[in-house]
Chains A and B, each alone.
Chain A
Amino acid sequence: MSVIEVTDASFDGFVGAKYAVVDCWAPWCGPCRRIAPIIEKLAEISAGEIAVGKLLVDSNPATSRKYNITAIPTILVFKNGKLEGQIVGLNPGLTAESLKDTVLEM
């Protein structure tokens, strides 16, 4: 399962899944490029359990404003459409496996 491109228009529908993770990023952001492989691996190991998406903040400002995102990378975690967690910046201990466990324990 690959990471789905999410936009302002598709955002609410996407995060309406039982579990959803959205990586808010931009191509010129170095730390975002380092998070990307973790998000890709999360999509692989959680196929069917967690909807995994990425949102380009620059072209989707409405979502950034709605969730008060002022720093990237920001990972938004949803359960049944409700925001349950927000991970900002690079966390040296973060792995796809730890992220999956965190999400499914919510």
Chain B
Amino acid sequence: MISADVLIIGAGPAGLQAAIHAARKKVSVVLVGKTENSALAGTHIENYLGIPGKADGSEILRVGSGQAEGFGCRMLRENVISAARKDGGFEIMTENDTAIKARAVILATGISRVKLGVPGEKELFGKGVSYCAACDGNFYKGKTVAIIGGETESAASAELMTAYASKVYWVAKDIAASERMIRKAADAGAETVRASAKAIIGEDKVTALELDDGTVLSLDGVFIELGARSSADLAMDLDVMPEMDDSIKVDSSCFTGTDGIYACGDVTGKPWQLAKAVGQGAVAGTSAAEWVRNNVSE
């Protein structure tokens, strides 16, 4: 069990800046997340104050991670799979089964791509296409389904669906989930198919999934589970109700309205800009550290 005064979920610019500001307030800080999942990774920035030309987003994240660690933040490069309130604080579980106990939490999860963008997806939503295995698994008892996505949420969903469906394909070209989660899905009976989805086929309901290698899988349901556990789901685990567009409302101190929980960066809504993420990160890190210092007795 790891303990922290302030736990930050998300390793993008908002989370890293929050880590720097919280750590400088002399509280213990743990950050959980993968920098490569940040929207900044792989992009170029030319509208950030003081950085001329086109700055490499991945390099900003790499340097920022080093700065956060330099100020004493502990970094865990993995995804969070669940969060809960516990013993007056919070407990977070990661994909490697690491439990982290925290007094305050900063949600800096960014926005994740939810839609796959393939033919048939929009037309067959609610007719065999689903974005929530936990919600809709029960409708597929004894049926054949595919889970699409290569990150932790798809692995968890593939494992979950083996409890309902008679056959579960886990369709992913590249798999970034932890070895532990891959093994759990395989042990439960999910069959891994290393390909990308090309089209979802069906008239009034889903009947098949076409893959980029030409294979066509006959099935009844397609669950699209891209990325890590969504910020909206994590927020609800912690009693923070997201807006209908999945953003999390905060006040000027980045406080969510739920004691001990702050949010910053793209997850708080538009504009989705580096400058805003960094600014809110500084505010959220400071606010969370001050809240811990003012409200938690040793």
Contacts and interface: CB of A to CB of B under 8 A. Distances in A.
B291 interface: no
Interface in A42-101: 57-58, 64, 68-72, 74, 86, 88-94
Residue of B136, B140, B221 contacting most chain A CB atoms (<10 Å): B136
Given A34-B242, A94-B244, A88 B125 contact: yes
Given A29-B132, A31-B135, A68 B205 contact: yes
Interface string B237-258: 0000110110000000000000
Interface string B133-155: 01110111000000000000000
B126 A32 contact: no
B139 A92 contact: no
A61 B126 CA distance: 16
A24 to B, nearest CB: 11
| Overall SS of chain B's interface | mixed
Contacts of B56: none
Contacts of A74: 126
A16 interface: no
B136 A71 contact: yes
A93 B245 CA distance: 8
| Overall SS of chain A's interface | loop
Contacts of A90: 244
Contact of B221 (A31, A57, A70, A89): A70
B296 interface: no
Contact of A70 (B131, B134, B136): B136
Contacts of B136: 29, 70-72
B265 interface: no
Contacts of A89: 125-126, 131
Nearest to B126: A88
A26 B132 CA distance: 12
Contacts of A71: 125-126, 129-130, 132, 135-136, 139
A33 B236 CA distance: 9
Q: Which A-B residue pairs are the 5 nearest by beta carbons?
A: A88-B126, A29-B135, A92-B245, A71-B126, A70-B139
Interface of B: 125-132, 134-136, 138-140, 205, 221, 232-233, 236, 241-242, 244-245
28 contacts: A26-B135, A28-B134, A28-B135, A29-B134, A29-B135, A30-B134, A30-B232, A30-B233, A33-B241, A34-B236, A34-B241, A34-B242, A34-B244, A58-B138, A64-B139, A68-B127, A69-B139, A70-B126, A70-B128, A70-B130, A70-B140, A70-B205, A70-B221, A71-B126, A71-B132, A90-B244, A92-B244, A93-B244
